[in-house]
Every structure is written in C-alpha cells, then in structure tokens.
C-alpha cells in the first residue's frame, strides 16, 4: 500500500465515527436497517418502562430495566459505529479531494484569442490552453502538444506522467497540474460532472447502492426478524395463560438475542468497507455491484497495448524488401508519418534522424492525411500528384496492394515473421501497388505479469489477451506474459463477441483496457477496469477506473471482491450460529422458576435468571465492536477451490460461532452474577 492511504484507526476517523454513531440514531436513518431498527424500538420501550414504571403499572425492577436499556443502547451505537467507521475513510478522502478542488482560472480559446475565465464557466466542448505551472481547469482530452502532468492530487503518486495528443494517453483530469511544456485541451465534462466530482460522491458513499446479494441478505434478515417478533409477541400471552410472569424487558431481551443483530449491525459496514478497500488500492469503483461481481469472475480479457505491454511501441529499424533500399523505406515511412501525431508516427521521424536518413518533406505538402482506423488497420497520405502512401499491418497492406494489381515481395513474409518472433510489431510500407519494406516497432511486456497471471490461474480465472497484432507477434507476447489464450488481429467488435461468448456460457467476464476502441468491450463486460491514463471514452464505459494505470491491479480487485463475498457469508454464518448459545442462556432463565425441569437446559450453569439474561445481552452487544476489524479488513482470502473454501469457513465461522458465545456468555456471567 502507498503511504497516502489512511489508517483505519486514525484519531480523526474514530472521533468522527463516534459522533456519527449518535447522529445515525435518527429513526429515519435506522429504518433503512430493519434488524437494528427493531432493536432501537425495543431500546425506546425499555427506556419508557424505566422512566415511568408506575404509569405502565409494571412490577419491573428499575435497576434491571436501566441495565437492559444501556446494553441495548450500546448495541445500537456499536452497530452505527461499525457503519460510520467504514464510511470514515471514504469521507476523509472526500474531504481531501474537496480541498484540492479549487476554482482556477482557465485560458479559454475564443475565436483564436485566449480569454481568461473562471473554470466554473467552462462547458463541454470548450478549448483551453494550459502552460507550465498551471492547473488543468477541467476534464478533457489533449488535442495539441505534449506535456508532463502532475496527477498526485488524484493518484497520490508524485511522478509526473506524459500526456499527448493522439493515441490512448490523451485524457487529462481537472485539478492536475502541468509541470512542463504546453498543451491545448478540449473540455469533456460540465461543472459537477468531472472525474473529481464523481470521486468525491463515490468515496463518501453518497451514491452507494446495495448490491443484489446484499439486498437478498437484507430480505432474509428482515424475514427472520419478523418471524421472531411474532414468536416473542405471542410468547407473552401464552406464558400468562400458564401463570408465568414474563416482563416486557425480558421479552425484548429475548427478541434482541433471537434476531441476527450481529450481521444486521455489520452488514452495511461490510459493503462500504469492500468498496473502500478497492479505493485504498487506488481503484475507483463506480458501484458496489462491480466489486461484488469481481469476486465471481471466471474469465479475464486484457488488451495488450498499454495493458500487458507498456504500449509505447517505437520504430527501431527499417527493413527493406524486394529490391528497395533502406533510404527508400525510411523516406516513404517518414512521408506517411509527417502528419501522424501518434507516438508510433513520431518515432518514425525520430528514427530517421537517428539513422541520418533524409526525405523530401515538400512531397507531403498539401497531401490528404488518412488516419489509422481499427477497421482498415492502416494510415497514410494521399499525395497531390495522385500517389497513395500507406503504412499498417502487413496483412492489411498486402490486401491493399493486391487490390491495386501489385505483387507481394517474396521476402516480405519472412521479414514480418522474424520481427513477430522477436515480440515486435511489423508495419508494412507501400506506395500505390508496391511494398517497399517494414518498420520494426518494439514493445515491452511489463515486469511481473507472468507471476500475476499465475495467481489468477490459481483463483480459477482464465486470462485471454486481445491484440491487433498478427498471430506470431501475439503468440510471442502471450507466451512471454503467461496468459492462457490470445486473440490476434482483434477488432473492437471481436472483443465484444468474445465477451458475449463467454457470458453465454454462464461465465462472468472482466475486461481491462485504456483505448477508445476498448470502450464497447468495457461496457459489455461484467467488470470493466479502465486505466486512468487511457481515454475519456474508456473511463466512461468502465465501472472501475485504476488511478495507477496498472492492469495487473485487477488481481487485487478480484481478491477484494472474493473477500467481500466471503466476509459477508462468514459473518452471517457466525451471527446465526451464535444465536444457539443465546437460546440456551435466555430461554431456561425465563421459565426456570415456573418450570424447574428447565434447569436441564441450563447447560452453561449460569448463576441466576437475571445474570443469564444480562450476560447474553452484553455478549450480543460487545460481539459487534469485536468483529468490526474483521468486517473492515475482510476475511483472509487464499486461492483454493470453492468446496475447500466452504468447508473451511463452516468449520471456523459455523462451529466457532457456536463455541465462542458459550465461552463468552459464561465468562460474562461469572462477573455479572457477582455484581447482581
């Protein structure tokens, strides 16, 4: 974890959580949690019985009633504290972001003239100029220039990143700072809709929606609460018919111990903490549903460029084919790249200078630039004299040349295969119906990827790499990275088709990417993780954004998703299991005086009926704060089969949920009995 991640137990967060615990006692807030709302109503009833015993004509022991009231009050407060503590780190981060979100001036271009306006006046489509030392006034895309940008306000990392026009590294975020050079930015969001605005809203939980599993569990807990409420309400008249006097505080104590208060008090905190743990890894989750879905992922599809590899493919060599010379290959490559603003295009011109090759720039003057498209997989220029120059994937250029009646050099495929076997990307260069040679583009696999993919394999997750490269290059990169499968010469529609095929087989699919062409696939996937360094389109289509732009981060996201599901299941098992011990504590205590035979059920040997009831209530209250660290941190996850994982949790949290309360209630009774 990076140093900027806040400690869960910082004094500021704890003091804020304590304050919020009392604020959350508002019945409107408590009504959102049916289990704890019932406990709050019971607390209020016991308070009335304590304050006005004569008014209700009861024979209750005021001291006992007061004790029950305090225990129930702390039960509710502890549950509120768990939720407030889970929200605390998000609110602290939101406050930090709000402090960094200051109104700045913007150099807006109006009719070619720079006009200084407040950043709040900028709207989608406006164009601004940002120079060295200035803050970027809003989210946007670089349309001209190249600059180093300090994104520490967003990512927490001090190292600046390069942002440039064209390619997949053109998006910039409002509130970040240009530390070198000058860029022209087109604004892509209106006020209140920026990336930082969304971050603030999400991390402070203002828009947290309950996930389907959480809603289902809430329904189950509500049903159990209603059932036990009916049981307890009818128990009083039945006991009265048998001449057994059950006081209202005793019945309320029984109800609180019967209903699943432990998981009821921690359920919301578990969900909030799950999203917060993702945030602690510098991943912004747009919803809890995305985090939860990550825990059930079966297949992961990764874009190669910028995801598995660094993505900065640079021209490193010119390879002539046929009877062409290096000078001819270099010259036509440069002419096709004069107006190409992509990193690859600029690297061609840099390679020309490095190899001291020359070309006549006047040939390209007034030409029509043909942009690269995923469908054609080529770019180039149409010259004024009618000649057409193209560079692109070897297969695409071969088809283009053949369509114009040209022939394919015999050594073209050999040179292309040689580059591909070395993990590079070959680009063919052609003029009209003749192919002159190849440009060798080099890319590098990010370190540690093989180990990461092995971890995913142990989790039972299949990895598939999608790339526009030819099969040989794709196979080399796939082998080096350690992915399970790959799809070569992939187009945007191919990625969507692959995701749909996997989903049709009943699998949940995760997709990582950073380019505009990845956006449709990111939207189709169950979990879409976009790189923060990527385009605006990719980030808007995804349901998660990795602020560090590390595609291997999906492993942490998957682990956290599994932790979320396991933690919720484990604590639900523990909560329901520990009710068994509370039954054996309270039920004999309620009837032991009228029905002496009930002593046989007092297997814990509790001191007296009153101490038994209070001991069960106290344990019920203190178990919530004791489990808060587990709810916040999550159950430890180790890659293993689902059956082994289930058996392990049943033993630890099922059997443990039965044993721990027996021990805890007995120890508390030893103290309470002496006090009474």
State the Cα–Cα distance between residues 375 and 337, nearest whole angstrom: 19
What is the sign of the dihedral through the CA atoms of 622, 623, 624 and 626?
positive
pLDDT reading at 207 higher than 50:
no
Q: What is the pLDDT of residue 104?
A: 74
Clarify whether 303 is annotated catalytic: yes
Tell me the two tokens of residue 418: 């040689």
State the Cα–Cα distance between residues 186 and 171, nearest whole angstrom: 10
State the Cα–Cα distance between residues 359 and 333, nearest whole angstrom: 10
State the Cα–Cα distance between residues 527 and 509, nearest whole angstrom: 6
DSSP output for 411-431: THHHHHHHHHHTT-EEEEEEE
pLDDT in tens, 78-105: 999 988 887 776 666 666 666 655 667 8
Give the residues across from 552 on adjacent strands: none
Classify strands 509-513 and 485-487 as parallel, antiparallel or unpaired.
unpaired
pLDDT in tens, 587-614: 787 777 667 777 777 778 877 878 888 8
pLDDT reading at 36 higher than 60:
yes
Tell me the two tokens of residue 598: 């009930």
pLDDT in tens, 117-160: 888 788 888 999 998 888 888 888 888 888 888 876 666 555 67
- pLDDT bin (cut points 50, 70, 90) of residue 51 is confident
Phi, psi values for residue 638, rounded to 5°: -125, 135
Give the residues across from 545 on adjacent strands: 284, 530
Q: What is the pLDDT of residue 513?
A: 78
CATH number of the structural domain 319-437: 3.40.1110.10
Q: What is the pLDDT of residue 97?
A: 60
State the Cα–Cα distance between residues 308 and 234, nearest whole angstrom: 64
Tell me the two tokens of residue 568: 């919720």
Tell me the two tokens of residue 487: 């799809």
The stretch 21-40 carries a mean pLDDT of: 91
- pLDDT bin (cut points 50, 70, 90) of residue 27 is very high
State the Cα–Cα distance between residues 4 and 152, nearest whole angstrom: 10
State the Cα–Cα distance between residues 183 and 165, nearest whole angstrom: 8
526 Cβ partners below 8 Å, 6+ apart? Answer: 293, 297, 503, 508, 509, 510
The stretch 70-81 carries a mean pLDDT of: 92
- pLDDT bin (cut points 50, 70, 90) of residue 380 is very high
User: What are the structural domain ranges in the chain?
Assistant: 11-93+203-279+558-673, 296-308+446-547, 319-437
Reference 21, options 36, 10, 34; nearest CA is: 36
Inter-residue contact 351 to 315 (CB < 8 Å)? yes
Q: What is the 3-class SS of 108-120, one letter each residue?
A: EEECCEEEEEEHH
SS3 597: helix
Which tops the pLDDT comparison, 19 or 176?
A: 19
State the Cα–Cα distance between residues 518 and 301, nearest whole angstrom: 11
Highest mean pLDDT among 130-144, 148-162, 552-566, 638-652: 130-144
- Which residues in 457-538 belong to E strands, given as ranges? 462-466, 485-487, 509-513, 527-531
- In angstroms and rounded to an integer, the radius of gyration of the C-alpha atoms of the chain is 33
- pLDDT bin (cut points 50, 70, 90) of residue 540 is confident
Q: How much is the pTM?
A: 0.65
What is the sign of the dihedral through the CA atoms of 70, 72, 75 and 81?
negative
What is the sign of the dihedral through the CA atoms of 23, 28, 29 and 30?
positive
Share of the chain above pLDDT 70, in %: 88
Question: H helices within 24-116, ranges in order?
Answer: 27-30, 34-51, 62-100
Residue with tokens 């300090």: 150
Q: What is the pLDDT of residue 289?
A: 76
Q: What is the pLDDT of residue 5?
A: 41
Give the residues across from 164 on adjacent strands: 146
- pLDDT bin (cut points 50, 70, 90) of residue 200 is low
Q: How far apart are the first and last CA of the chain?
A: 49
Phi-psi region of 442 (alpha: psi -120 to 50; beta: other; left: phi over 0): beta
- Binding-site positions read 340, 344, 372-379, 391, 514, 518
The stretch 534-547 carries a mean pLDDT of: 80
DSSP output for 601-630: G-TT--S-HHHHHHHHHHHHHHHHHHHHHH
Question: H helices within 204-342, ranges in order?
Answer: 212-241, 248-258, 261-280, 288-294, 326-337
State the Cα–Cα distance between residues 524 and 111, nearest whole angstrom: 40
pLDDT reading at 69 higher than 60:
yes
pLDDT reading at 437 higher than 90:
yes
Reference 438, options 420, 465, 464; nearest CA is: 420
Reference 436, options 405, 463, 415, 453; nearest CA is: 415
Q: At what angle do helices 212-241 and 554-591 cross, to 10 degrees?
A: 0
The stretch 177-186 carries a mean pLDDT of: 86
Fold of 296-308+446-547: Rossmann fold (3.40.50)
Q: DSSP code of 135?
A: B
Q: Write down the catalytic residue from 303, 443, 526, 550.
A: 303
Tell me the two tokens of residue 332: 């036509």
Share of the chain above pLDDT 90, in %: 18
State the Cα–Cα distance between residues 176 and 35, nearest whole angstrom: 45
State the Cα–Cα distance between residues 522 and 183, nearest whole angstrom: 28
For residue 123, count other CB atoms closer than 10 A to its CB: 11
- pLDDT bin (cut points 50, 70, 90) of residue 6 is very low
Mean pLDDT of the chain: 82
Length of the chain: 676
- Binding-site positions for ATP read 340, 344, 372-379, 391
pLDDT in tens, 286-334: 766 788 888 888 898 887 776 687 766 788 899 999 889 999 999 999 9
Strand order in the sheet with 509-513: 283-285, 544-546, 527-531, 509-513, 299-303, 462-466, 485-487
The stretch 175-201 carries a mean pLDDT of: 78
State the Cα–Cα distance between residues 27 and 95, nearest whole angstrom: 27
């Amino acid at each position: 974890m990076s140093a900027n991640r806040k400690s869960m137990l910082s004094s500021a967060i704890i003091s804020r959580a304590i304050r919020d615990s009392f604020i959350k006692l508002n019945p409107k807030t408590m009504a959102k949690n049916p289990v704890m709302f019932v406990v709050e109503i019971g607390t209020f009833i016991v308070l009335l019985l304590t304050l006005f015993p004569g008014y209700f004509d009861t024979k209750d022991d005021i001291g006992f009633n007061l004790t029950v009231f305090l225990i129930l009050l702390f039960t509710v407060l502890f549950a509120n504290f768990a939720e407030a503590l889970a929200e605390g780190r998000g609110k602290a981060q939101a406050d930090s972001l709000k402090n960094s979100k200051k109104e700045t001036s913007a150099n807006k271009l109006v009719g070619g003239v720079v006009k200084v306006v407040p950043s709040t006046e900028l709207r989608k489509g406006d164009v601004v100029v940002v120079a060295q030392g200035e803050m970027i006034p809003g989210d946007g895309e670089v349309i001209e220039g190249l600059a180093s940008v300090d994104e520490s306000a967003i990512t927490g990392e001090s190292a600046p990143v390069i942002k440039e026009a064209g390619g997949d590294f053109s998006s910039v975020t409002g509130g970040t700072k240009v530390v070198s050079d000058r860029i022209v930015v087109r604004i892509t969001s209106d006020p209140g809709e920026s990336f930082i605005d969304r971050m603030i809203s999400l991390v402070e939980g203002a828009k947290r929606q309950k996930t389907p599993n959480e809603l289902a569990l809430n329904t189950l807990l509500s049903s159990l609460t209603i059932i036990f409420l009916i049981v307890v309400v009818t128990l009083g008249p039945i006991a009265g018919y048998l001449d057994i006097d059950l006081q209202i505080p005793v019945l309320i104590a029984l109800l609180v111990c019967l209903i699943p208060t432990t998981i009821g008090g921690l359920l919301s905190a578990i969900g909030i903490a799950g999203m917060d743990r993702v945030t602690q890894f510098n991943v912004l989750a747009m919803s809890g549903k995305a985090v939860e879905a990550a825990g059930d992922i079966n297949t992961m599809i990764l874009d190669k460029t910028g995801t598995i590899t660094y993505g900065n493919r640079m021209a490193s060599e010119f390879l002539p084919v046929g009877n062409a010379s290096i000078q001819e290959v270099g010259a036509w490559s440069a002419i096709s790249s004069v107006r190409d603003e992509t990193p690859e295009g600029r690297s061609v011109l840099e390679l020309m200078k490095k190899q001291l090759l020359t070309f006549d720039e006047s040939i390209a003057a007034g030409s029509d630039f043909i942009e690269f498209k995923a469908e054609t997989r080529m770019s180039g220029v149409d010259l004024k004299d009618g000649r057409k120059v193209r560079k692109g994937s070897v297969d695409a250029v071969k088809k283009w040349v053949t369509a114009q009646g040209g022939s394919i050099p015999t050594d073209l495929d050999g040179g292309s295969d040689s580059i591909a076997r070395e993990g590079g990307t070959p680009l063919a260069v052609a003029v009209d119906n003749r192919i002159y040679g190849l440009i060798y583009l080099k890319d590098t696999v990010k370190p540690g990827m093989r180990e990461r993919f092995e971890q995913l394999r142990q989790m039972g997750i299949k990895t598939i790499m999608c790339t526009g490269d030819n099969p040989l290059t794709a196979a080399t990169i796939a082998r080096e990275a350690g992915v399970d499968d790959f799809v070569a010469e992939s187009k945007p529609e191919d990625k969507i088709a692959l995701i749909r095929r996997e989903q049709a087989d009943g699998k949940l699919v995760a997709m990582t990417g950073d380019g505009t062409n990845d956006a449709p696939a990111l939207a189709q996937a169950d979990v879409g993780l976009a790189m923060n360094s990527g385009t605006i389109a990719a980030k808007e289509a995804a349901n998660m954004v990795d602020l560090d732009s590390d595609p291997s981060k999906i492993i942490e996201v998957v682990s956290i998703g599994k932790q979320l599901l396991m933690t919720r299941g484990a604590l639900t098992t523990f909560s329901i299991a520990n009710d068994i011990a509370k039954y054996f504590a309270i039920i004999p205590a309620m009837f032991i005086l009228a029905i002496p035979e009930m002593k046989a059920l007092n297997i814990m040997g509790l001191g007296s009926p009153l101490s038994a009831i209070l001991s069960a209530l106290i344990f019920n209250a203190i178990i919530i704060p004791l489990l808060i660290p587990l709810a916040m941190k999550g159950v430890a996850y180790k890659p293993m089969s689902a059956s082994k994982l289930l058996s392990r949790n049943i033993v630890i949290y099922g059997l443990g949920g039965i044993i721990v309360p027996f021990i805890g209630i007995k120890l508390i009774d030893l103290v309470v009995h002496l006090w009474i």
